[in-house]
Amino acid sequence: TALHSFRGCAVREFTFVAQKPGCKGLRVTTEACWGRCHTWERPVLDPPYIHRHHRVCTYAVTRYASARLPGCQPGISPLYHYPVAVQCHCAVCTTLDSEC
Amino acid sequence: DENVTLSPGCHLHPFNVSIRSDQRGTCRGTHLAHACVGYCESSAFPSRYSVLVASNFTHNITSASRCCTIAKEAKVKVRLECPGGRHHDELEILTAKACRCDMCRTSRY
Residue of A nearest to B70 (CA): A41
**Mutate which of A15, A41, A59 to disrupt the B interface (most B C-beta within 10 Å)?**
A41
List, in sequence order, every residue forming a beta bridge with A63; answer none if it has no partner.
Answer: A84
**B75 with B96: CB under 8 angstroms?**
no
What does pLDDT average to over chain B?
A: 87
**Assembly ipTM:** 0.93
End-to-end CA gap in chain B: 28
pLDDT of residue B90: 81
Q: In the predicted model, what is the mean pLDDT of chain A?
A: 95
Residue B3 reports pLDDT greater than 70: no
Cα B22 from Cα B20, distance rounded (Å) = 7
Q: A59 with A33: CB under 8 angstroms?
A: yes
What residues of chain A score a pLDDT lower than 70? Answer: 1
- Cβ pairs bridging A and B (under 8 Å): 149
Summarize pLDDT for B23-69 with one digit per residue, the tens.
666 788 889 999 999 999 999 999 999 999 999 999 999 999 999 99
* B105 contacts chain A (CB < 8 A): yes
Whether chain B has a CB inside 8 Å of the CB on A54: the answer is yes
- Of A7, A50, A57, nearest to B44 by CB-CB distance is A57
Q: State the architecture of A3-91 in CATH terms.
A: Ribbon (2.10)
Contact A33 B17 (CB under 8 A): no
0.90 exceeded by the pTM? Answer: no
